[in-house]
Amino acid sequence: MRRTLLALAAAIGLLFATTPAANAYEPVNIVHTERVQVGPYGMTVGFSTWPLRAMQSLDFTFIPDDGIAGKSGTLAFLNPETGRLGRPQPLAKHPRKLEVWGLDIRALQTQGSWTFRFEIDGPAGKGAGELRDLAVLEQPGPPMAVSWSISLIPLIVLAVLIAVAWRRTRLRLLVAR
Amino acid sequence: MDLTAGGARAVSVSRSERTGLVPAGTVLAGSVISLVGLTWDIQWHGDVGPDTFFTMPHLFLYSGSAISGLASLVVVLMTTAARRAGRPVDARVGGRAINVFGRIFAAPAGYLVTGTGAAMFLLYGLWDQWWHGLYGFDAVIDSPPHIGLLLSITLSIIGTVMVFAAAREHRWGTVGVVGSLGVLIAFSTVTVLGLQQIDVDGLDVVSVGIALLSVLLVSAGAGFWGRPGGAVRVAAALAVIQAITWWFSPWAAEAYASAVGLPMRDYIDGVPAMPSMMPMALLPIAAVLEAVYLLSRRGWPAGRVSVLAGVIGGLLVGASMPIQNAIVYGSDRMPWAVVFATGAAGAVVGLLGGFAGWRFGGMLRLLAPAKGENAHA
């Protein structure tokens, strides 16, 4: 047992030792841009993959022409499936590209034509603007029903286990009572 | 009243009180390490963000399952070797041995479940890698592979509960059941996020799931304990886990970000994400359940009393969760319609939780060998 524990400790130690080498976070790689006018502010919206597909996550960047210094703002999504405008969220610095606003590894869940609604407050006053008709293509991969069925296998194993144990203990629990 | 099992060929073996403590402690440690990894990972994604496979929280998540799985494998191999050599097998170590693949392996029931969960975790881990390759590293907790991973760990923790239940003649066995049931409730609060896929207007479906599982597991603790105090003890175990992770999760996310030189996100709300999903009112609700259980002293059958207690517990947990969420996240108004609807749905599922939970408690008691029957070959 002691030897097993030592081996385990060594394996975990090795993982710790090699982690920093693998710990480099991917840079934000913009492959496509769109322009949007938010009141007095021109802004470039960047995408790390193009075209967009439902559920496929990517990095978004939002870069006002003269930078984000001295500005604040919000972003709300208009989901084509529900037709509802989501709650505005503050425009925050991208965690891996701190000089611009952005969303890290974010997916748009449904296919269709999305709208991003921006509001920016800055030296030139407040302004609002929309990036319209952002096409999001069909979700890649197998249908979600198939994926969810696979994910529920442990639950089925558990249900079988409980059913067997329930039947086998029934008489003994009755006797004990 | 003796609820223990009989019937197997018995030979007496003299083992010390600590027999089985090391592997049981190891699988519990694995479960706790997974829990630490999960709360840390969720907080990391909310407060800091960037993700790769090689993060410390992922290391905890994966090594927790690996530790539980390897410990289970060792016990199964030792049990198999003992049976082949004709040595007696102590059923207090993980429960009665079950034949696997014919009679190739003899696996104590508890370790079989823990090991199966750990093995499934590995398979779902591979699927998760494929998933992230296709869909990217969007940090959604309720993706199908993530729910598969969480359900696999759940299976491992259920095995851990069984392992300790088999050793209930020892104090560490009963304490271990209570502790691992607490870990299981804590873990379940994330697993039920899979229910977000079911969209019902005016109903907090995730909180209904939390009501079901917390009532089920608290009732199982009460049924296992067999005398007053089991439900409160399980709820107290959850309260301890909640208190520790409430402090730990934001601290660990910030400390790790600082260690790897990453800034915190703008506009973080500072709420400990996973601990805030655990039902804060469970301890007083468990005390109410204990009061209801006293009805069985008036001649009511204990199983039926547990159904009534489950309805009350489900109602209270279901109603308290939307209130808890509104308070924790500083909502402007209390969603009373959702509170009432979720409480009502909680009462319905609580009925099931009270019924099945008490029975599960009895089944856990049967995992331990009867007195004077410590081993069977």
Query: Could you give the dihedral angle defined by the CA atoms of residues B77, B68, B129 and B253, in that order, rounded to the nearest 10 degrees?
Result: -160
Write the CB contacts of A65 (distance below 8 Å, at least 6 apart in sequence). A41, A42, A43, A44
The verdict on a CB contact (< 8 Å) between A15 and B67 is no
Cβ contact B347:B314 at 8 Å = yes
On the question of pLDDT at B84 being above 80, the answer is: yes
Place of tokens 């597909």: A53
Cβ contact B303:B353 at 8 Å = no
Q: Is residue A102 part of a domain?
A: yes
Please tell me the distance from the alpha carbon of residue B192 to that of residue B274, in angstroms, as a whole number. Answer: 12
Q: Is residue B3 part of a domain?
A: no
Q: Based on C-alpha coordinates, what's the Rg of chain A?
A: 25
Closest C-alpha among A156, A151, A163 to residue B150: A151
A21-30, A37-46, A63-72, A155-164: which has the minimum mean pLDDT?
A21-30
Let me know how long chain A is: 177
The verdict on a CB contact (< 8 Å) between A154 and B120 is yes
Closest C-alpha among B139, B133, B196 to residue A141: B133
Please tell me the distance from the alpha carbon of residue A139 to that of residue B137, in angstroms, as a whole number. Answer: 15
Segment B170-227, tens digit of pLDDT: 999 999 999 999 999 999 999 999 898 888 889 999 999 999 999 999 999 999 998 8
Write the CB contacts of B88 (distance below 8 Å, at least 6 apart in sequence). B11, B13, B82, B375, B376, B377
Per-residue tokens: B85: 């050599």
- Terminal-to-terminal C-alpha distance of chain B: 27
Q: Is residue B289 part of a domain?
A: yes
Enclosing H/E stretch for B31: helix B21-47
Task: Calculate how close chain A gets to B52, using CA atoms only, in Å.
Answer: 7
ipTM of the complex: 0.84
Provide the domain limits for residue A102. 32-137
What is the average pLDDT across B47-60? 86
- Which residue type does A155 have? L
Segment A88-104, tens digit of pLDDT: 999 999 988 999 999 98
Please tell me the distance from the alpha carbon of residue A169 to that of residue A175, in angstroms, as a whole number. Answer: 10
The verdict on a CB contact (< 8 Å) between A151 and B144 is yes
Measured CA angle at A50 (ends B147, A25), to 5 deg: 60
Q: Is residue A12 part of a domain?
A: no
Write the CB contacts of B152 (distance below 8 Å, at least 6 apart in sequence). A154, B65, B117, B118, B120, B121, B124
Cβ contact B214:B309 at 8 Å = no
> Phi/psi of residue A90, each to 5°?
-65, 140
The pLDDT score that the predictor gives to residue A15 is 56
- Terminal-to-terminal C-alpha distance of chain A: 41
Q: Is residue A163 part of a domain?
A: no
Write the CB contacts of A55 (distance below 8 Å, at least 6 apart in sequence). A107, A108, A109, A139, A140, A141, B135, B138
Tell me whether the omega of the peptide bond preceding residue A51 falls within 30 degrees of 0, making it cis.
Answer: yes
Count: domains in chain B: 1
The pLDDT score that the predictor gives to residue B136 is 83
Confidence of residue B267 (pLDDT cuts 50, 70, 90): confident
Q: Is residue A83 part of a domain?
A: yes
A50 shares contact with chain B (CB less than 8 Å): no
pTM for this predicted structure:
0.88
Q: DSSP assignment, residue A107?
A: -
Report chain B's mean pLDDT, rounded to a whole number.
Answer: 91
| Chain A residue with minimum CA distance to B363 | A169
Of A107, A151, A155, the CB nearest to B136: A107
The pLDDT score that the predictor gives to residue A156 is 94
The pLDDT score that the predictor gives to residue B4 is 38
Confidence of residue A22 (pLDDT cuts 50, 70, 90): very low
Percent of chain B with pLDDT over 90: 75
Give A-chain residues touching B187 at CB under 8 angstroms: none
Confidence of residue A7 (pLDDT cuts 50, 70, 90): low
Confidence of residue B77 (pLDDT cuts 50, 70, 90): very high
Provide the domain limits for residue B156. 21-376
Q: Is residue A15 part of a domain?
A: no
Q: Is residue B232 part of a domain?
A: yes
Residue of A23, A103, A105, A139 to mutate, interface with B, max B Cβ within 10 Å: A105
On the question of pLDDT at A20 being above 50, the answer is: no
The verdict on a CB contact (< 8 Å) between B148 and A152 is yes
Confidence of residue B372 (pLDDT cuts 50, 70, 90): low
On the question of pLDDT at B137 being above 50, the answer is: yes
On the question of pLDDT at A39 being above 90, the answer is: yes
Closest C-alpha among A46, A117, A51, A54 to residue A81: A54
E strands, chain A, in order: 32-38, 41-47, 52-53, 58-64, 72-78, 89-90, 93-94, 97-106, 112-122, 125-137
Q: Is residue B211 part of a domain?
A: yes
Q: Is residue A61 part of a domain?
A: yes
Cβ contact B352:B212 at 8 Å = yes
Q: Is residue A53 part of a domain?
A: yes
In this structure, are strands A125-137 and A52-53 parallel, antiparallel, or unpaired?
parallel
> Phi/psi of residue A76, each to 5°?
-130, 145
The pLDDT score that the predictor gives to residue A18 is 53
Segment B303-336, tens digit of pLDDT: 889 999 999 999 999 999 999 999 999 888 899 9
Write the CB contacts of A5 (distance below 8 Å, at least 6 apart in sequence). none
Chain A from 76 to 135: CB within 8 A of any B CB: 90, 92-93, 95-96, 98, 104-107
Write the CB contacts of B175 (distance below 8 Å, at least 6 apart in sequence). B164
CB pairs < 8 Å spanning A and B: 130
Write the CB contacts of B336 (distance below 8 Å, at least 6 apart in sequence). none
Per-residue tokens: B248: 């730990």
On the question of pLDDT at B5 being above 50, the answer is: no
Give B-chain residues touching A157 at CB under 8 angstroms: 116, 120, 155
Percent of chain A with pLDDT over 90: 67
CATH number at residue A84: 2.60.40.10
On the question of pLDDT at B89 being above 60, the answer is: yes
Count: domains in chain A: 1
